[in-house]
Structure 1
Amino acid sequence: MSLLRYLDESPRWLLVRGHTDRAKKVLQKAAHYNGVSFSSDQHLDCMLADIQNETINEKKAPVGSNENISYTKRFQRCISGILVLFRTPRLRQIVLLIYIDFFVVSMVYYGISLNGVNYGVNPFLYMVISGVSEIPAYTLSAPLIAKFGRRLPITWCFLICGGAIVSLAFVPNNDSTWGLTIFLVTVGKMFISVVYQVLYLYTMELLPTEVRLTGLGTTGCVSRIGSIFCPYVTELLGVSYPWLPSLLFGGFSIVAGLTNLGLHDTLGAPMPDTVEDVENYRKTRTPNEDDKTSELQKIKI
């Protein structure tokens, strides 16, 4: 709560409330923070006018009332909203590949934690080291994706995690190999944690604005389905075949890493606003376009 005084209000909200001067100061502060300068005050005024016009148009857009709509109609609206994700080929491909990533990352992330009983190591030490391994993962993921983009780090982290977890299937469960087991678990948990963190950012940058929330909601559902499978794999299969959960989790991770190559990188690219932007991405993008962003796109509001 003590930090709230240092947070700026949204320029859009300030404009709606009539605080134009405060909105200008917030935009100027954002521009200064990002090393961008406005060519003139008129440029800033035009920018504020655009934001204000967008807000007015959104208010004028007709919105159906839900008060007198039956549950059947609401359900149909919900389904039709989800089906938008699959109506065009490129968006459909992106969504399906994202679903694979979320299903696998959730299953492997929680599967590593639950599968400790099948490795023959101290469960308390196992959980402590498994948790500590996430600290470097969350610390290094930001500079990693800032330098190498999103697609390749996710792919390599999936592959490295998969290789480490598959290796556990061939490590015998005895006291002489507990160090190797802990090392492989630490590697697997660290790299799958990087994927878990970066994947949400990557998904928001891949999906267009008009279906972004719907896409994020459905990916969350797919992710939960992946985590539901974990206990069945570790408890049912792991009891009879202790090596099988590691083989499954590692194999799925490798498959997800390879399928992730079907997505494009979003580093330095403007976020798509419409489904049409996604479909035209390959057609309109030039090799040097990553380096060409306008002053407005450089400003992080």
Structure 2
Amino acid sequence: MGSFPGVIRAGRLPLDIEVFPCLRDHRFGGTAVFPAAEAMQVLAAAVRETAPRTDVLTIRDARFDKFLDIPADTPRLAAFSDIEPLSGGRVKAALVTRHRASRTGITREKLHVFMVFGGSTPADETEAVQLADLPGNGVDIPARALYADMVPFGPAYHNIQDRVRLWPTRAEATVLAARHPTPAGPLGSPFPLDAAFHAACAWGQRYARVVAFPVGLDCRRILRPTRTGESYRAVVAPRRTAPDLLVFDLALYGLDGALYETALGVRMRDVSAGRMKPPPWVLA
């Protein structure tokens, strides 16, 4: 499998993930599911433990393939991180679970998430969606309506503050790094990025007429980890709109205008097989 400088452990590592109460508010189809932002956090912590010199604040080629369900009566999730060294100081990490079929007793593995950490960052992978004073004529969606009709999560994930404002070429919102405990990790609060995904979801419902959720991203670069209790400005720019895939570039800024992180090539699609539809008032 190769080796890294400063390796502590490599290969398959067990993960014992505490299910904090807020995670049960992250729901799809009536079932609590582990958030993509939390999966990145958990894998970053595993890579930092395994290969401490790896730059875990740079994430590339992330794919969120399958939901990791959180059963109602489960206080912890048993999973694994598969760690693989790559060239150029990069490390590939995957989140995997095992399930035993009750009828046959056969154990199967499920790959939920994988991504690559570290390596140099070309300039075109750090270009942020810029803050701008846009003209009027935007569409304002109050946060209360957003979470009632468009993004079906519980209160812990209602972290767009006040409203999301939409234009055909952009979405913006103030987002909160909520004060809920979550699995520890080095990437900062997971809530601002998760809320930026909500703004992108709202744009997709308004302008592409699809309820889309993230299934991957090309490059995430964290310059300053977001801090619990702070508010940030999320900026979303659509890059591609197709019937089966929306692609966005996202950026998080401090309220003072400082850039905190970018997520470029965020891939979003309808994962409900057409069951979820935008509310008619959004399309009006």
Q: For this structure pair, what is the TM-score category when the shorter chain's length is used for normalisation?
A: under 0.3
Q: Which TM-score applies when normalising by structure 2?
A: 0.24
Greater relative contact order structure (CA < 8 Å, 6+ sep): 1
Specify the structure having the higher radius of gyration (Cα). Answer: 1
Q: Which TM-score applies when normalising by structure 1?
A: 0.23
- Relative to total residues, which structure has the larger strand share, 1 or 2? 2
